[in-house]
Structure 1
Amino acid sequence: MSSNRDLPKPQSEYWNFENTVAFVTGAASGIGRATALAFAREGANVVVADIDENGNQETAEQIEELGGDALAVTCDVRESEDVQAALEETIEEFGCLDFACNNAGVEQQGGNVADLAEAEWDRVVDTDLRGVFLSMKYEIPLILEQGGAIVNISSGAGVKGFPGAAYCAAKHGVVGLTKSAALEYADTDLRINAVCPGVIDTAMMDRVTGNTEEGRQQMIDSEPIGRMGEPEEIANAVLWLCSDAASFTLGHAMVVDGGQTV
């Protein structure tokens, strides 16, 4: 579990999200929850979207405990109708959309390529890549109305090879999708970038490691920095990319991984 260490909070004249609206997928836990809370702490109104209704509602309640405004929407990012409905609720509640963090994703369950079930390939790629495509497809027209930014969550597995072909292919796809879309909208007021996390201490990582000391240590050993990252460290990268401090940053796949892919 996260150690909840006191992490440095970026301070900048460009770091101002007051009265903006942020939409975060996969917000029920982990990086998504940390990102939603980070937006809220900086003054944004936050829409949290997830297939996990209970966890999603907990995130919204945590935002409200911080004094922020939150809207929890149930959303399966694999389904076009769900994504459109979630964004329609966003506009109905807050009137606009400034920022989006497309974070929803799943890990791969076992299998080398020849042994991987077709259904598992479809499950991972549909969530981790199609879900980002659908989210962007319906977010972009809304953000273009006043300008803003989109940050997609890829992975270290999106910039180099790791075992787990479906996950790796999907995360490489997120980087390619991000770069292509960033160029398509480069002459507008919409900036699109990605963050590629390394080993982050989340519930997903607990599932990957079997939540055992041995499993966790193996993942820590893969990190030159000697520890897992915190979800808040990824959230800080997302907010920087959304801020005016990153105004010249476009189509970038920002690796935040403790040196794992160096």
Structure 2
Amino acid sequence: MKKSKIAVVTGGSRGLGRDMAVNLAKKGLDVVLTYQSNVTAAQEVVAEIEALGQKAAAIPLDVSDYEAYEPFFRERLQPALAEKFGTSTIDYLVNNAGSISPAPFADASISDFKDMIHIHLMAPFFITQQALKIMNDGGGIVNISTGLTRFATPGFAAYAAMKGGVEVLTKYMARELGQRKIRTNVVAPGAIETDIMGGFVRDNAGMNETIAAETALGRVGLPTDIGAVVAFLCTDEAYWINAQRIEVSGGVHI
């Protein structure tokens, strides 16, 4: 029987990451997902993946703590790969984990700005560095950005600036890792109904209606709109897609 490829998804216990992890399993991949603190939610995702016939493991990781990256791979991920998957390598990495601290540009604090750097720019950069040590040639990386790099919405200057950096970083990754046949792409969701920012889009009827009115397909996004796109990029069918920004927003602000 052909051995399943393995994808690592950061922030895979809820929201977009959860749907990415499940859709990767639907594509026949085994999945390692990271979570920050909610072990119960993470194990629910593991159970859902295993119910689909794939292997899965959940490992804690705080992506804001750059000193945790190397120990995560050495002390947690590699033993889990050996024990649960019978291997020492991975094939795909999805840099998804994140949070948002919205504030008007004039009021944004240095503390919040540093948090955005650590979570949204340093994490994809240096987690990927560590992942490359155990990633098979011919694998792939998917970085998660945002529609806010294409259009400006007040309050998200720091967050969008980091995601703009991720989009440039993605091109450099694709160029430099091409010699190993490792593809790197970026997926940029629009506004999505999740619990991020306390359910700002999901639970705010006025905000939801405003965004829907600005979207060609007439609604805001759902987590289920994103996961299948990410999962597709982690398949052989998407092999010739490289260094691309794919916006998944239903046509907002066009």
The two structures share one fold, judged by TM-score above 0.5: yes
Counterpart of 1:207, as a letter, is G
Q: Which amino acid is the alignment partner of residue 142 of structure 2?
A: V
Number of positions where the alignment pairs a residue of Structure 1 with one of Structure 2 = 244
Instruction: Find the residue that maps to 1:27 and give its secondary structure.
Output: coil
1:95-150 CA deviation, whole Å, 9 max, x = no partner?
210011110111123x222211111111122111112112211112221x442001
**Unpaired segments ≥5 residues, structure 1:** 1-16
Which residue of 83, 90, 93 corresponds with 2:77? 90
1:259 to 2:251 alignment: yes
Relative to structure 1, the CA distance from residue 47 to residue 210 in structure 2 (aligned partners, 3 Å threshold; closer, same or farther) is closer
Displacement of 1:230: 2.3
Residue of structure 2 aligned with 1:53, choices 38, 43, 47: 38
What RMSD over aligned residues (CA atoms) do the two structures have, in Å? Answer: 2.0
- Identify the match of residue 149 of structure 2 among 158, 175, 198: 158
Distance in structure 1 (CA, Å) of the matches to 2:177 and 2:93: 15
3-state SS of the aligned residue for 1:255? Answer: strand
Mapped to 1, the partners of 2:202 and 2:225 lie a distance apart of 23
Normalised TM-score (structure 2): 0.88
1:69-218 → structure 2 map (5 Å cutoff): 69-88=55-74, 89-92=76-79, 93=81, 94=85, 95=87, 96-109=89-102, 111-143=103-135, 145-163=136-154, 164-204=156-196, 207-209=199-201, 211-218=203-210
**TM-superposed deviation, 1:153:** 0.5
> Once the 2 structures are TM-superposed, how far is the Cα of residue 225 of structure 1 from its aligned partner?
1.3
* Alignment gaps of 5+ in structure 2: none
Per the TM alignment, residue 206 of structure 1 is displaced from its structure 2 partner at its CA by 5.2
How far off is 1:192 after superposition? 0.6
Counterpart in the other structure of 1:21: 6
Distance 2:223 2:95 in 1: 15
CA distance in 2, matches of 1:127, 1:32: 15
Contact 2:66 2:122 in 1 (8 A): no
CA-CA distance at 1:210 after TM superposition: 7.5
- Measured after TM superposition, the shift of residue 58 of structure 1 is 2.3
CA distance in 2, matches of 1:257, 1:36: 20
Aligned residues with identical type, % of pairs:
31
Any conservation in 1 of the 2:151–2:253 contact (CA below 8 Å)?
yes
> Equivalents in 1 of 2:148, 2:6: separation in Å?
30
Determine the C-alpha separation between the residues in 2 that align with 1:76 and 1:243.
27
Match of 1:33 in 2: 18
Partner of 2:200, secondary structure, is: helix
TM normalised by structure 1 equals 0.85
CA distance in 1, matches of 2:60, 2:152: 33
